[in-house]
Structure formats: structure tokens, C-alpha cells
Amino acid sequence: MTPICNDQLTRVKKPPFGPGWDAPKSYRVGEKGDKNGMPYTVKAFGASIYRKLGKPQFPANVWLLVKYKGDRSHSWDCLLIGDTNSFKERLVFGGPHPNPIFTHYWPKLEPQPA
């Protein structure tokens, strides 16, 4: 999963796979939520970018990386929140990530996603 450096994302357009989803809706790092009775905290955002012949494929799916509270067997999860065309903010990929969850860098020789 490719890390997204944004600390806030605002979904302003419903993706084709989520016609019943709310728009606009904001997500922030550190925000608390609940999924099926399990409280979680949003730790970061990520995108599943697939490469075909060296070029990234867009739009890519955007995910919330969450950490559940009090459940050791299922402490981390990825929740789908949209695609790269669904958000108001320009998504920032790669480089040293300000969030300590991501400890890797985008490879220097790889083309940067637009």
C-alpha cells in the first residue's frame, strides 16, 4: 500500500462503488470511530496503486488505516473510503512520511503519482 501524506481527506464525490456513501464527509488522522461495535482510531491513509508497464493506474482505491482498541487478535484494519478522484484535497504520495506508521520512502527512480 502506498502511503498518503495528507492528515485530512474530504470526500466530495461518491465513488462508483459507493453510491450510498455520504458526500461531503471528512476523515482526519487521530479521529475516533466505531465499526461493528469495535472502537478504532484513524492512524493514516493509504492507496492501493497498481502498476502496469511501469505506470501507475488511476483512479486508485483510498483506505483508512485504523487501529482497534482492546482487541489484540484484530488490532489493525484497512477501511475503504473512496478512490483518488473522490477527494477535495490533492493527495500527496511518497517522500519521507510525517506519520511514523510509515517507515519507508517512495523509491527515487519510480515515477511519482500525479
Best CA proximity match to 45, nearest among 96, 108, 104, 92: 92
Query: In the numeric block, which cell numbers belong to residue 36?
Result: 461493528
What is the pLDDT, as a whole number, of residue 8?
92
pTM of the model: 0.77
Answer yes or no: are the C-beta atoms of 29 and 99 closer than 8 Å. Answer: yes
From the CB of residue 68, how many other CB atoms can be counted at a distance below 10 Å?
17
The residues near 4 (Cβ < 8 Å, ≥ 6 apart) are 44, 45, 46, 47, 62, 91, 92, 93
Contact between 56 and 50 (Cβ < 8 Å)? yes
pLDDT at 107 over 80: no
Span 14-55, pLDDT tens digits: 998 888 899 899 999 889 999 888 899 998 888 887 777 767
Could you tell me how far CA 59 lies from the centroid of its own chain? 13
Mean pLDDT of 51-72: 80
Q: What pLDDT sits at residue 114?
A: 40
Confidence of residue 82 (pLDDT cuts 50, 70, 90): very high
List the one residue out of 94, 93, 92, 91 whose CA is nearest residue 106: 94
Q: What is the CA radius of gyration of the chain?
A: 14
